[in-house]
A and B are shown apart, each in its own frame.
Chain A
Protein backbone atom coordinates (compact mmCIF):
# COMPACT_ATOMS: atom_id res chain seq x y z
CA UNK A 1 0.00 0.00 0.00
CA UNK A 2 1.17 3.50 -0.83
CA UNK A 3 2.64 5.52 2.05
CA UNK A 4 3.87 9.03 2.76
CA UNK A 5 6.68 10.22 0.43
CA UNK A 6 10.11 10.04 2.06
CA UNK A 7 11.24 13.52 1.06
CA UNK A 8 9.21 16.63 1.57
CA UNK A 9 11.03 19.32 -0.39
CA UNK A 10 8.51 19.35 -3.17
CA UNK A 11 5.43 19.05 -0.96
CA UNK A 12 3.14 22.10 -0.91
CA UNK A 13 3.19 24.22 2.21
CA UNK A 14 0.10 24.21 4.43
CA UNK A 15 -2.00 26.27 5.10
CA UNK A 16 -2.81 27.47 1.59
CA UNK A 17 -3.79 31.06 0.78
CA UNK A 18 -7.52 31.21 0.16
CA UNK A 19 -10.01 33.42 -1.62
CA UNK A 20 -12.42 35.06 0.84
CA UNK A 21 -15.54 33.05 0.06
CA UNK A 22 -14.22 29.66 -1.01
CA UNK A 23 -11.69 27.13 0.25
CA UNK A 24 -8.21 27.26 -1.34
CA UNK A 25 -8.41 26.27 -5.03
CA UNK A 26 -5.87 23.48 -4.41
CA UNK A 27 -8.41 21.69 -2.23
CA UNK A 28 -10.88 21.01 -5.01
CA UNK A 29 -8.00 19.71 -7.13
CA UNK A 30 -7.00 17.34 -4.32
CA UNK A 31 -10.62 16.32 -3.91
CA UNK A 32 -10.87 15.34 -7.57
CA UNK A 33 -7.47 13.73 -7.95
CA UNK A 34 -6.58 11.97 -4.71
CA UNK A 35 -8.27 11.07 -1.49
CA UNK A 36 -5.16 11.97 0.50
CA UNK A 37 -2.75 14.79 -0.34
CA UNK A 38 0.61 15.08 1.45
CA UNK A 39 1.57 18.61 2.61
CA UNK A 40 4.38 20.22 4.58
CA UNK A 41 3.79 22.19 7.80
CA UNK A 42 5.55 25.26 9.27
CA UNK A 43 8.11 23.08 11.08
CA UNK A 44 8.90 20.90 8.08
CA UNK A 45 6.76 18.01 9.31
CA UNK A 46 4.45 16.33 6.86
CA UNK A 47 0.75 15.63 7.12
CA UNK A 48 -2.07 14.29 4.98
CA UNK A 49 -4.96 16.46 3.86
CA UNK A 50 -8.41 14.88 3.58
CA UNK A 51 -10.96 16.70 1.45
CA UNK A 52 -13.75 14.30 0.44
CA UNK A 53 -16.93 14.34 2.50
CA UNK A 54 -17.14 10.63 3.24
CA UNK A 55 -13.42 10.41 4.08
CA UNK A 56 -13.64 13.36 6.47
CA UNK A 57 -16.53 11.73 8.32
CA UNK A 58 -14.80 8.38 8.41
CA UNK A 59 -11.59 9.91 9.75
CA UNK A 60 -13.34 11.85 12.50
CA UNK A 61 -15.34 8.78 13.56
CA UNK A 62 -12.25 6.54 13.78
CA UNK A 63 -10.82 6.16 17.27
CA UNK A 64 -7.49 4.94 15.85
CA UNK A 65 -6.79 8.60 15.14
CA UNK A 66 -6.01 10.70 18.19
CA UNK A 67 -7.08 14.29 18.93
CA UNK A 68 -4.30 14.82 21.49
CA UNK A 69 -2.17 17.62 20.01
CA UNK A 70 0.84 17.03 22.27
CA UNK A 71 1.26 13.54 20.74
CA UNK A 72 4.36 13.04 18.56
CA UNK A 73 3.53 13.76 14.95
CA UNK A 74 0.31 15.65 15.65
CA UNK A 75 -0.17 18.27 12.91
CA UNK A 76 -0.14 21.50 14.89
CA UNK A 77 -0.54 24.20 12.29
CA UNK A 78 1.67 26.96 13.72
CA UNK A 79 4.41 27.53 16.25
CA UNK A 80 1.98 29.39 18.53
CA UNK A 81 -0.46 26.48 18.43
CA UNK A 82 2.30 24.01 19.13
CA UNK A 83 3.62 25.94 22.12
CA UNK A 84 0.11 26.40 23.47
CA UNK A 85 -0.77 22.71 23.39
CA UNK A 86 2.52 21.75 25.02
CA UNK A 87 2.15 24.29 27.83
CA UNK A 88 -1.53 24.03 28.83
CA UNK A 89 -3.68 21.41 30.50
CA UNK A 90 -5.84 20.26 27.56
CA UNK A 91 -9.59 20.71 27.39
CA UNK A 92 -11.82 17.79 26.42
CA UNK A 93 -11.62 18.58 22.70
CA UNK A 94 -7.93 17.72 22.90
CA UNK A 95 -8.50 14.36 24.59
CA UNK A 96 -9.41 10.90 23.36
CA UNK A 97 -11.98 8.59 24.90
CA UNK A 98 -12.45 7.49 27.62
CA UNK A 99 -11.09 10.74 29.16
CA UNK A 100 -12.94 12.91 26.65
CA UNK A 101 -16.25 11.13 27.28
CA UNK A 102 -15.87 11.46 31.04
CA UNK A 103 -15.69 15.26 30.80
CA UNK A 104 -18.12 15.75 27.91
CA UNK A 105 -20.82 13.83 29.80
CA UNK A 106 -20.70 16.43 32.58
CA UNK A 107 -21.91 19.20 30.27
CA UNK A 108 -23.94 17.53 27.51
CA UNK A 109 -27.16 18.05 29.45
CA UNK A 110 -26.65 21.82 29.25
CA UNK A 111 -26.77 21.67 25.43
CA UNK A 112 -29.53 19.15 24.68
CA UNK A 113 -32.06 20.17 22.06
CA UNK A 114 -34.72 20.59 24.77
CA UNK A 115 -32.56 22.73 27.02
CA UNK A 116 -31.44 24.96 24.18
CA UNK A 117 -34.96 25.27 22.77
CA UNK A 118 -36.05 26.54 26.19
CA UNK A 119 -33.53 29.39 25.79
CA UNK A 120 -35.21 30.66 22.64
CA UNK A 121 -37.00 33.63 24.31
CA UNK A 122 -33.73 34.77 25.88
CA UNK A 123 -31.85 34.52 22.59
CA UNK A 124 -34.64 36.26 20.67
CA UNK A 125 -34.71 39.12 23.18
CA UNK A 126 -30.97 39.53 22.79
CA UNK A 127 -31.29 39.55 18.99
CA UNK A 128 -33.92 42.31 19.21
CA UNK A 129 -31.74 44.34 21.56
CA UNK A 130 -28.72 44.04 19.26
CA UNK A 131 -30.74 45.06 16.19
CA UNK A 132 -31.99 48.07 18.19
CA UNK A 133 -28.40 48.89 18.97
CA UNK A 134 -27.32 48.59 15.35
CA UNK A 135 -30.18 50.86 14.25
CA UNK A 136 -29.36 53.41 16.94
CA UNK A 137 -25.72 53.57 15.86
CA UNK A 138 -24.05 55.12 12.82
CA UNK A 139 -25.32 54.16 9.36
CA UNK A 140 -23.32 52.53 7.77
CA UNK A 141 -22.33 50.44 10.76
CA UNK A 142 -20.19 47.39 11.47
CA UNK A 143 -22.49 44.38 11.73
CA UNK A 144 -19.66 42.13 12.87
CA UNK A 145 -18.69 44.07 16.01
CA UNK A 146 -22.16 45.39 16.89
CA UNK A 147 -24.09 42.17 16.32
CA UNK A 148 -22.15 39.00 15.41
CA UNK A 149 -19.46 39.18 18.08
CA UNK A 150 -21.97 40.24 20.73
CA UNK A 151 -24.77 37.69 20.37
CA UNK A 152 -22.87 34.47 21.15
CA UNK A 153 -20.79 36.21 23.82
CA UNK A 154 -23.80 37.55 25.70
CA UNK A 155 -25.73 34.27 25.50
CA UNK A 156 -22.89 32.04 26.71
CA UNK A 157 -22.03 34.54 29.46
CA UNK A 158 -25.60 34.25 30.74
CA UNK A 159 -25.54 30.46 30.53
CA UNK A 160 -22.23 30.20 32.37
CA UNK A 161 -22.99 32.96 34.84
CA UNK A 162 -20.06 35.27 34.09
CA UNK A 163 -20.49 39.06 34.20
CA UNK A 164 -21.44 40.59 30.84
CA UNK A 165 -18.99 43.38 31.58
CA UNK A 166 -16.13 40.91 31.07
CA UNK A 167 -17.20 39.99 27.54
CA UNK A 168 -14.73 42.32 25.84
CA UNK A 169 -11.92 40.71 27.81
CA UNK A 170 -13.03 37.21 26.73
CA UNK A 171 -13.46 38.27 23.15
CA UNK A 172 -9.96 39.70 22.99
CA UNK A 173 -8.24 36.71 24.59
CA UNK A 174 -10.32 34.16 22.68
CA UNK A 175 -9.51 35.89 19.38
CA UNK A 176 -5.79 35.83 20.17
CA UNK A 177 -5.84 32.18 21.16
CA UNK A 178 -7.17 31.12 17.77
CA UNK A 179 -5.00 33.43 15.64
CA UNK A 180 -2.07 31.48 14.22
CA UNK A 181 -0.57 34.59 12.64
CA UNK A 182 0.33 36.09 16.06
CA UNK A 183 3.74 35.71 17.70
CA UNK A 184 3.69 32.47 19.78
CA UNK A 185 4.25 34.41 23.04
CA UNK A 186 1.02 36.36 22.52
CA UNK A 187 -1.01 33.21 21.90
CA UNK A 188 0.32 31.59 25.07
CA UNK A 189 -0.19 34.79 27.09
CA UNK A 190 -3.84 35.06 25.98
CA UNK A 191 -4.40 31.51 27.18
CA UNK A 192 -2.76 32.29 30.51
CA UNK A 193 -4.95 35.37 31.08
CA UNK A 194 -8.15 33.50 30.29
CA UNK A 195 -7.31 30.72 32.70
CA UNK A 196 -6.33 33.13 35.47
CA UNK A 197 -9.74 34.74 35.09
CA UNK A 198 -11.48 31.37 35.35
CA UNK A 199 -9.55 30.52 38.51
CA UNK A 200 -10.95 33.68 40.13
CA UNK A 201 -14.44 32.93 38.84
CA UNK A 202 -14.35 29.40 40.26
CA UNK A 203 -13.08 30.60 43.64
CA UNK A 204 -15.91 33.09 43.86
CA UNK A 205 -18.66 30.63 42.90
CA UNK A 206 -17.27 27.88 45.12
CA UNK A 207 -18.07 30.06 48.13
CA UNK A 208 -21.80 29.43 47.56
CA UNK A 209 -22.50 27.47 44.37
CA UNK A 210 -26.13 26.78 45.27
CA UNK A 211 -27.01 30.44 44.73
CA UNK A 212 -25.98 30.29 41.06
CA UNK A 213 -28.49 28.93 38.56
CA UNK A 214 -25.89 28.55 35.83
CA UNK A 215 -23.53 26.01 34.24
CA UNK A 216 -20.56 26.84 36.46
CA UNK A 217 -22.67 26.62 39.61
CA UNK A 218 -24.04 23.24 38.55
CA UNK A 219 -20.56 21.95 37.66
CA UNK A 220 -19.36 22.84 41.15
CA UNK A 221 -22.37 21.32 42.91
CA UNK A 222 -22.84 18.18 40.82
CA UNK A 223 -19.30 17.32 39.76
CA UNK A 224 -16.65 19.16 41.77
CA UNK A 225 -18.14 18.74 45.25
CA UNK A 226 -18.78 14.99 44.85
CA UNK A 227 -15.21 14.63 43.59
CA UNK A 228 -15.82 13.77 39.91
CA UNK A 229 -14.07 16.90 38.65
CA UNK A 230 -11.02 18.53 40.16
CA UNK A 231 -10.40 22.26 40.31
CA UNK A 232 -7.58 21.89 37.78
CA UNK A 233 -9.80 19.88 35.42
CA UNK A 234 -12.64 22.39 35.64
CA UNK A 235 -10.51 25.27 34.34
CA UNK A 236 -9.97 24.12 30.73
CA UNK A 237 -13.54 22.89 30.58
CA UNK A 238 -15.01 26.28 31.47
CA UNK A 239 -12.54 27.99 29.18
CA UNK A 240 -13.67 25.77 26.33
CA UNK A 241 -17.32 26.62 26.98
CA UNK A 242 -16.49 30.33 26.94
CA UNK A 243 -14.48 30.40 23.75
CA UNK A 244 -15.73 27.52 21.58
CA UNK A 245 -18.93 29.22 20.52
CA UNK A 246 -17.53 32.70 20.35
CA UNK A 247 -15.65 33.30 17.10
CA UNK A 248 -17.21 30.29 15.37
CA UNK A 249 -20.76 31.55 15.71
CA UNK A 250 -19.79 35.19 15.19
CA UNK A 251 -18.08 34.39 11.90
CA UNK A 252 -20.88 32.10 10.77
CA UNK A 253 -23.32 34.97 11.38
CA UNK A 254 -21.25 37.54 9.50
CA UNK A 255 -20.28 35.33 6.56
CA UNK A 256 -23.85 34.05 6.39
CA UNK A 257 -25.20 37.59 6.23
CA UNK A 258 -22.60 38.49 3.63
CA UNK A 259 -23.78 35.66 1.37
CA UNK A 260 -27.37 36.64 1.89
CA UNK A 261 -26.66 40.26 0.95
CA UNK A 262 -24.71 39.15 -2.11
CA UNK A 263 -27.65 37.03 -3.23
CA UNK A 264 -30.47 39.54 -3.17
CA UNK A 265 -32.94 36.98 -4.53
CA UNK A 266 -32.27 34.76 -1.52
CA UNK A 267 -32.66 37.71 0.84
CA UNK A 268 -35.93 38.58 -0.93
CA UNK A 269 -37.23 35.04 -0.36
CA UNK A 270 -36.39 35.31 3.31
CA UNK A 271 -37.87 38.79 3.68
CA UNK A 272 -41.13 37.82 1.97
CA UNK A 273 -41.90 35.21 4.62
CA UNK A 274 -39.27 34.58 7.28
CA UNK A 275 -40.96 31.43 8.61
CA UNK A 276 -39.06 28.85 10.66
CA UNK A 277 -38.66 26.43 7.75
CA UNK A 278 -37.12 28.84 5.25
CA UNK A 279 -34.90 30.42 7.90
CA UNK A 280 -33.67 26.98 8.90
CA UNK A 281 -32.84 26.13 5.29
CA UNK A 282 -30.99 29.41 4.86
CA UNK A 283 -28.99 28.86 8.04
CA UNK A 284 -27.99 25.30 7.09
CA UNK A 285 -26.84 26.55 3.69
CA UNK A 286 -24.78 29.30 5.36
CA UNK A 287 -23.20 26.73 7.67
CA UNK A 288 -22.41 24.40 4.78
CA UNK A 289 -21.21 27.02 2.35
CA UNK A 290 -18.81 28.73 4.75
CA UNK A 291 -17.92 25.88 7.17
CA UNK A 292 -15.85 28.34 9.14
CA UNK A 293 -13.63 25.98 11.15
CA UNK A 294 -10.63 25.66 8.86
CA UNK A 295 -7.77 24.53 11.15
CA UNK A 296 -9.05 22.76 14.22
CA UNK A 297 -9.74 19.08 13.66
CA UNK A 298 -6.28 17.59 13.07
CA UNK A 299 -5.61 14.02 14.15
CA UNK A 300 -2.58 11.75 14.48
CA UNK A 301 -2.54 7.99 13.85
CA UNK A 302 -2.20 6.02 17.11
CA UNK A 303 -1.26 2.94 15.09
CA UNK A 304 -0.73 2.06 11.43
CA UNK A 305 -4.13 2.61 9.83
CA UNK A 306 -5.17 1.71 6.27
CA UNK A 307 -7.23 4.72 5.32
CA UNK A 308 -8.58 6.10 2.05
CA UNK A 309 -6.45 3.75 -0.04
CA UNK A 310 -3.15 4.41 1.70
CA UNK A 311 -1.37 3.32 4.83
CA UNK A 312 -1.24 6.06 7.44
CA UNK A 313 1.69 5.18 9.67
CA UNK A 314 1.61 5.52 13.43
CA UNK A 315 2.62 9.08 14.32
CA UNK A 316 1.60 10.63 11.00
CA UNK A 317 -0.62 13.68 11.10
CA UNK A 318 -3.84 14.01 9.14
CA UNK A 319 -5.93 17.13 8.59
CA UNK A 320 -9.61 16.96 7.58
CA UNK A 321 -10.70 20.02 5.61
CA UNK A 322 -14.29 20.54 6.73
CA UNK A 323 -14.81 23.45 4.35
CA UNK A 324 -13.82 21.43 1.29
CA UNK A 325 -15.81 18.38 2.46
CA UNK A 326 -18.85 20.64 2.50
CA UNK A 327 -18.11 21.51 -1.15
CA UNK A 328 -17.90 17.88 -2.25
CA UNK A 329 -19.92 17.55 -5.48
CA UNK A 330 -20.48 13.88 -4.65
CA UNK A 331 -22.56 15.02 -1.69
CA UNK A 332 -23.83 18.47 -2.67
CA UNK A 333 -24.80 19.17 -6.31
CA UNK A 334 -23.36 22.51 -7.49
CA UNK A 335 -21.43 22.77 -4.22
CA UNK A 336 -19.94 26.20 -4.92
CA UNK A 337 -23.36 27.72 -5.39
CA UNK A 338 -24.95 29.45 -2.38
CA UNK A 339 -28.56 28.31 -2.62
CA UNK A 340 -30.94 28.55 0.32
CA UNK A 341 -33.58 26.65 -1.64
CA UNK A 342 -31.68 23.39 -2.13
CA UNK A 343 -34.27 20.63 -2.66
CA UNK A 344 -32.82 18.51 0.11
CA UNK A 345 -31.18 19.76 3.28
CA UNK A 346 -28.26 17.34 3.24
CA UNK A 347 -26.39 17.29 6.57
CA UNK A 348 -22.92 18.88 6.39
CA UNK A 349 -19.81 18.72 8.57
CA UNK A 350 -19.60 22.38 9.58
CA UNK A 351 -19.84 21.15 13.19
CA UNK A 352 -17.39 18.32 12.63
CA UNK A 353 -18.16 14.63 13.10
CA UNK A 354 -17.36 11.81 15.49
CA UNK A 355 -17.25 11.95 19.27
CA UNK A 356 -15.88 15.50 19.19
CA UNK A 357 -18.72 16.89 17.09
CA UNK A 358 -19.64 20.34 18.34
CA UNK A 359 -21.44 20.15 21.65
CA UNK A 360 -22.87 23.64 21.22
CA UNK A 361 -24.38 23.14 17.79
CA UNK A 362 -28.01 23.41 18.97
CA UNK A 363 -27.09 26.75 20.52
CA UNK A 364 -25.27 27.99 17.43
CA UNK A 365 -28.24 27.00 15.31
CA UNK A 366 -30.69 28.71 17.65
CA UNK A 367 -28.63 31.91 17.60
CA UNK A 368 -28.37 31.91 13.82
CA UNK A 369 -32.04 31.08 13.27
CA UNK A 370 -33.18 33.77 15.69
CA UNK A 371 -30.80 36.29 14.14
CA UNK A 372 -31.78 35.76 10.50
CA UNK A 373 -35.47 35.54 11.23
CA UNK A 374 -35.39 38.98 12.85
CA UNK A 375 -32.90 40.49 10.38
CA UNK A 376 -35.25 39.55 7.54
CA UNK A 377 -38.21 41.07 9.35
CA UNK A 378 -36.61 44.22 10.70
CA UNK A 379 -33.84 45.16 8.27
CA UNK A 380 -35.42 44.81 4.80
CA UNK A 381 -33.15 47.45 3.22
CA UNK A 382 -29.93 46.01 4.64
CA UNK A 383 -27.03 45.95 2.16
CA UNK A 384 -23.24 45.84 2.08
CA UNK A 385 -21.71 49.28 2.55
CA UNK A 386 -18.49 48.43 0.73
CA UNK A 387 -17.58 46.14 -2.19
CA UNK A 388 -16.67 42.61 -1.11
CA UNK A 389 -13.06 43.34 -2.11
CA UNK A 390 -12.86 45.93 0.69
CA UNK A 391 -14.16 43.69 3.47
CA UNK A 392 -11.32 42.73 5.84
CA UNK A 393 -11.37 38.92 5.78
CA UNK A 394 -9.42 36.65 8.07
CA UNK A 395 -6.69 34.66 6.39
CA UNK A 396 -5.67 31.03 6.18
CA UNK A 397 -3.81 31.14 9.51
CA UNK A 398 -6.97 31.79 11.50
CA UNK A 399 -8.51 28.69 13.07
CA UNK A 400 -11.92 30.00 12.04
CA UNK A 401 -12.47 31.72 8.75
CA UNK A 402 -14.40 34.96 8.94
CA UNK A 403 -14.23 38.73 8.82
CA UNK A 404 -12.76 41.40 11.07
CA UNK A 405 -15.56 43.81 10.15
CA UNK A 406 -18.71 43.75 8.01
CA UNK A 407 -19.76 47.29 7.01
CA UNK A 408 -23.48 47.43 6.21
CA UNK A 409 -26.06 50.15 5.62
CA UNK A 410 -29.85 50.12 5.79
Chain B
Protein backbone atom coordinates (compact mmCIF):
# COMPACT_ATOMS: atom_id res chain seq x y z
CA UNK B 1 0.00 0.00 0.00
CA UNK B 2 1.50 3.26 -1.10
CA UNK B 3 -0.83 5.73 0.60
CA UNK B 4 -0.52 4.93 4.27
CA UNK B 5 -2.36 6.97 6.86
CA UNK B 6 -0.20 9.13 9.05
CA UNK B 7 -0.77 9.12 12.82
CA UNK B 8 -0.08 12.18 14.94
CA UNK B 9 -0.94 13.37 18.44
CA UNK B 10 -1.03 16.78 20.04
CA UNK B 11 0.71 16.71 23.43
CA UNK B 12 -0.63 20.17 24.18
CA UNK B 13 -4.18 18.87 24.12
CA UNK B 14 -3.45 15.50 25.74
CA UNK B 15 -4.73 15.06 29.31
CA UNK B 16 -3.01 11.73 29.93
CA UNK B 17 -6.15 9.64 30.41
CA UNK B 18 -4.40 6.75 28.69
CA UNK B 19 -7.34 5.68 26.52
CA UNK B 20 -5.13 5.40 23.43
CA UNK B 21 -2.56 3.22 25.18
CA UNK B 22 -5.31 0.96 26.45
CA UNK B 23 -7.06 0.66 23.09
CA UNK B 24 -4.03 0.63 20.78
CA UNK B 25 -0.95 -0.29 22.81
CA UNK B 26 1.18 -0.99 19.74
CA UNK B 27 0.66 2.51 18.39
CA UNK B 28 0.81 4.70 21.51
CA UNK B 29 2.59 5.05 24.82
CA UNK B 30 2.77 7.75 27.49
CA UNK B 31 5.88 9.67 28.50
CA UNK B 32 6.79 9.41 32.16
CA UNK B 33 6.87 13.00 33.33
CA UNK B 34 3.30 14.14 32.62
CA UNK B 35 1.79 11.00 31.10
CA UNK B 36 1.42 12.67 27.69
CA UNK B 37 0.75 10.66 24.56
CA UNK B 38 3.68 9.47 22.45
CA UNK B 39 3.05 8.01 18.98
CA UNK B 40 4.95 4.77 18.43
CA UNK B 41 3.93 4.16 14.81
CA UNK B 42 3.86 7.20 12.55
CA UNK B 43 2.33 4.98 9.86
CA UNK B 44 0.36 2.26 11.67
CA UNK B 45 0.29 -1.23 10.20
CA UNK B 46 -2.96 -2.24 8.50
CA UNK B 47 -3.67 -4.68 11.34
CA UNK B 48 -3.50 -1.85 13.86
CA UNK B 49 -5.72 0.62 12.04
CA UNK B 50 -9.00 -0.42 13.67
CA UNK B 51 -7.53 0.02 17.11
CA UNK B 52 -5.96 3.35 16.18
CA UNK B 53 -9.27 4.63 14.82
CA UNK B 54 -11.00 3.56 18.00
CA UNK B 55 -8.36 5.42 20.01
CA UNK B 56 -8.84 8.50 17.83
CA UNK B 57 -12.60 8.41 18.39
CA UNK B 58 -12.28 7.77 22.11
CA UNK B 59 -9.58 10.27 22.96
CA UNK B 60 -11.27 12.47 25.58
CA UNK B 61 -9.26 15.55 24.63
CA UNK B 62 -9.36 14.87 20.86
CA UNK B 63 -5.60 14.96 20.66
CA UNK B 64 -5.19 12.18 18.09
CA UNK B 65 -5.28 12.54 14.31
CA UNK B 66 -5.14 9.81 11.73
CA UNK B 67 -5.05 11.19 8.20
CA UNK B 68 -3.24 11.56 4.91
**B-contacting residues of A (Cβ < 8 Å)?**
60-61, 101, 104-105, 108-109, 111-114, 347, 351-355, 357-359, 361-362, 365
Contacts and interface: CB of A to CB of B under 8 A. Distances in A.
A105 B58 contact: no
Interface in B31-68: 32-36, 54, 57-58, 60-62
Given A61-B61, A359-B16, A347 B30 contact: no
B38 to A, nearest CB: 11
6 contacts: A108-B15, A114-B29, A354-B60, A355-B61, A357-B61, A365-B22
A61 B60 contact: yes
A109 B17 contact: no
A109 B15 CA distance: 11
* Chain B, interface SS category: loop
Nearest to B34: A105
A109 B18 contact: no
A347 B58 contact: yes
B34 A352 contact: no
Given A354-B61, A361-B18, 20 more contacts: A101-B15, A105-B34, A108-B35, A108-B36, A109-B32, A109-B33, A111-B35, A112-B16, A112-B18, A112-B21, A114-B21, A347-B19, A351-B17, A354-B60, A355-B15, A355-B60, A357-B17, A357-B61, A361-B17, A362-B18
The size bracket of the interface on B is: 20 to 34
Interface of B: 15-19, 21-23, 25, 29-30, 32-36, 54, 57-58, 60-62
Most chain A beta carbons < 10 A, residue from B33, B35, B36? B35
Contacts of A114: 21, 29-30, 32
A121 to B, nearest CB: 19
Contacts of A61: 60-62
A353 to B, nearest CB: 5
Contact of A359 (B17, B29, B32): B17
Contacts of B29: 114
Nearest to B16: A108
A362 B21 CA distance: 10
Contacts of B18: 111-113, 361-362
Q: Which 8 A-B pairs have the closest CB atoms?
A: A108-B16, A108-B35, A357-B60, A113-B21, A112-B30, A112-B35, A347-B58, A113-B18
A361 B22 CA distance: 11
A394 to B, nearest CB: 26
Contacts of B34: 105, 108-109
A111 B16 contact: yes
A353 B15 CA distance: 11
Given A111-B16, A357-B17, A358-B17, A347 B62 contact: no
